[in-house]
């Protein structure tokens, strides 16, 4: 009777542990998270040094008045403005960080040597206001420590 129970129990135990291992190896889908960004003009900042007084050696400074302003056209574009060394206003227009809409598809395959092969496909959506040029996967695996 014992042998019969062992003959039934051992294969059943092995099948259950195999099913648990398969479930643990299943890939999980997670959404691509967009971080909320807020751009604000600095309230406190240092005046810029443009030179030194030759008689006293003291710094000669000016107020460069840095500020960030939305362009207001609903495109999540912003203007970084300041007064340059020449006294003229300078402007750089930049796209907000939330302007990228992409779909990242991933597939995982187990290789014969026991390692996994990950394949990623990245597609820009028509609603994206900018285009993705690079995609980097962050790896926390112990066999590839970050230096």
Determine, yes or no, domain membership for 9.
no
**Alpha carbon 63 to chain centroid, angstroms:** 34
Determine, yes or no, domain membership for 52.
yes
Identify whether residues 58 and 90 lie together within a single domain: yes
The residue out of 98, 116, 139 marking a domain boundary is: 98
Write down the pTM of the prediction. 0.47
Q: For 29-69, what is each residue's pLDDT tens digit?
A: 666 666 677 778 888 888 888 889 999 999 988 888 899 98
Which structural domain range is residue 90 located in? 48-98
Identify whether residues 84 and 110 lie together within a single domain: no
Identify whether residues 84 and 105 lie together within a single domain: no
Candidates 89, 92, 49, 47; CA nearest to 69 is: 92
Residue 77 burial by Cβ neighbours in a 10 Å radius (0-12, 13-18, 19+): middle
Number of domains in the chain: 2
Candidates 114, 121, 126, 113; CA nearest to 137 is: 121
Determine, yes or no, domain membership for 113.
yes
SS3 percent helix, strand, coil of the chain, rounded to 5, is 20, 30, 50
Q: For 83-130, what is each residue's pLDDT tens digit?
A: 888 889 999 988 776 667 777 888 888 999 988 888 888 888 887 777
Looking at residue 119, its pLDDT comes to 87
Identify whether residues 110 and 85 lie together within a single domain: no
């Amino acid at each position: 009777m014992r042998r019969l129970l062992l003959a039934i129990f051992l294969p059943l135990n092995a099948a259950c542990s195999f099913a648990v291992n398969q479930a643990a190896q299943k890939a999980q889908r997670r959404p691509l998270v967009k971080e909320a960004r807020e751009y604000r003009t600095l309230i406190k900042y240092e005046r810029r040094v443009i030179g030194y007084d030759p008689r006293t050696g003291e710094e000669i400074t000016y107020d460069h008045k840095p500020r960030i302003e939305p362009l207001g056209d609903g495109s999540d574009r912003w203007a970084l403005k300041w007064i340059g060394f020449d006294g003229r206003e300078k402007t750089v227009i930049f796209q907000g960080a939330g302007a990228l809409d992409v779909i990242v598809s991933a597939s995982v395959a187990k290789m014969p040597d026991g390692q996994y092969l990950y394949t990623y496909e990245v597609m820009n959506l028509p609603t994206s206001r900018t285009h993705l040029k690079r995609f980097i996967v962050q790896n926390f695996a112990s066999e590839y420590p970050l230096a």
